[in-house]
Every structure is written in structure tokens, then in C-alpha cells.
Amino acid sequence: FLEIISASSNPGHRSLDAPVVLKEGVMIKRAQGRKRFGRKNFKQRYFKLTTQDLTYSKNKGKDPLCCIPLDQILAVERLHEDSFKMKNMFQIVQPERALYVQANNCVEEKEWMDILTKICQTNSNRLQHYHPAAYINGHWLCCMSPSELAPGCNDVSRGMEASLQMSLDPDREFQRIHSLLVTHMDRLDKLKDACECQAVYTGDVCFLPSFVIEDVQSCFHTLTAVRDVVFCLEQEHRSYLRSVARETKYGSKQAPIGDDNYLLLAARVGRLDTSFLKKTFNPPD
């Protein structure tokens, strides 16, 4: 999908179709200094990336305060921590300025940088060099050049290699995800209960000890859907294990004598606790 939407850097081609939201979320950005005497402070904004542009607003659903067409993004690179003494920062380089953004964590930073780089790497005016540090107090911190328009001192990242191949086992990965969800279902239930009790009907922000849930209603409905899916999968998984154990005979070609796999399967089925489903999962009536 990303290969298709990044195939053309012509904004006229993108405007023919309705924009598709690729990623959105809250991040902190530094003022770009559009006003001559304005303070370049940091503010929290709601960012939204579509197949046409990148925008940010004060809150979700509000009118955009800034709109950056994708063909105006010349590079997306990390920013040295020394620039503002802040971690997880990256820069979105535009023709006349750079937008400095701080993600909530390193995972969010990588996700934003990867998707922005991917959809903009075919832009015809993409930069070859950039400044890895910010322009502060009349000079670039990386090369000490006094000119704000000085060419970059570092090569831009090559982005994602076209020949990159990843060896994935979807069945194994899906099994691992399912196992993690079952193991930590009690934690998901606590999070779901917190959303339901505090603000699920009003849509207010939910503050928890370690993080903040911005869209409480969506979080509640998502957790409910995940819980129902895991419940159904666990039922089918246990039924499958029982059927395999029932149909497989010890000493047959499928389970020869001395086969540890069959012995492990038999022991596993014998330890299945049906009360787990009743206790952990209570599907709605």
C-alpha cells in the first residue's frame, strides 16, 4: 500500500483521490518561528498524516494550525539530543525551515520516521544533505555555520532498502500474540474497567499511573473487541488440541513409540483447565 501511494511525488495525482489517514497521534513540536518576534517554545499538538499532507492541530477534530504537503517534505531525520536536551526528537525538513518534533517514546519516533520517510522518499526535490542538529543562537550546532540557509553537513539516510527482505512466520507470530494476550488478559481487563468507570460515556481523557488514554471510548471498544476475539480463539484452540489428542493413537505412524511430541501433547491436554475460560473470559450475553 505504501509502495503505491509513494510511487508519485506529483501532488496533482494525490488530489484526485480522497485522502487516507495513515497515522495520527499526539506529539510535542517546537514553534517554527513564523512570527518575527514570537517565542520558539514547545507545545503539544495532534498530528495527522494522510496520503496528501501532514497536519497538526490543538486537539483531535480541531481545524489544522499547519498543513505540510507531502511533496514539501524534503527529508525526515533524527535530531541530536544536544540540540534541546530532549530525547526521541526528529526533524521534518521543509524548503524554508525544519519542524522539530518530539515523539512520546522511541517506538513512536521510529514509526513516524519510517512512514514519513517511506511516502516521501520518491519526492523529486528530496535533499541529499541535512543538518543533524538545530539552528540556535545564530548558528548550526552541528557544523557551527552562521547561515541558516547553509547546505547540510551530513548525508541524509537512504531510507528503506528496496531489496530488504524479511523472513516472517505469520502462524508463529500470531500464536505468540495470542499467547501474550491470554497470559496478560487480567491486565487488559483492568485497563478496560478503568476506561469504563472513569470516562467511557463522556469521552474525557483518562489518566492512569503510567500513561494517558486520549480517546477513552475508542480504547474501551477496542479492548472489548480484542477480548471477544481472544475468547473465541482460545475456545477453538482448546477444541483443536482435544481433537488432535483424541484422533492420534500412540504407536501409529503419526505418533510412533518414543515420540516426545505426542507425550507432551497428551500431558498438555490433560492439564487443560476449562475453568480458565469461565474465569478469565465472560462473553457478553
Question: What is the pLDDT at residue 54?
Answer: 94
Q: Can you give the three-state secondary structure of 228-278, one letter per residue?
A: HHHHHHHHHHHHHHHHHHHHCCCCCCCCCCCCHHHHHHHHHHHCCCCHHHH
Residue 194 identity: A
Q: Write down the domain spans for the chain.
A: 2-155, 170-280
Q: Domain 2-155's class?
A: mainly beta
pTM: predicted TM-score of the whole model, two decimal places? 0.53
pLDDT in tens, 160-189: 544 444 456 777 777 788 888 888 888 888
pLDDT in tens, 2-33: 444 444 445 555 554 578 888 999 999 987 65
Q: Does residue 241 surpass a pLDDT of 90?
A: no
**Out of 33-42, 153-162, 182-191, 268-277, least confident range:** 268-277
Cβ neighbourhood burial of 165 (10 Å; 0-12, 13-18, 19+): exposed
pLDDT in tens, 109-131: 999 998 998 888 778 888 888 99
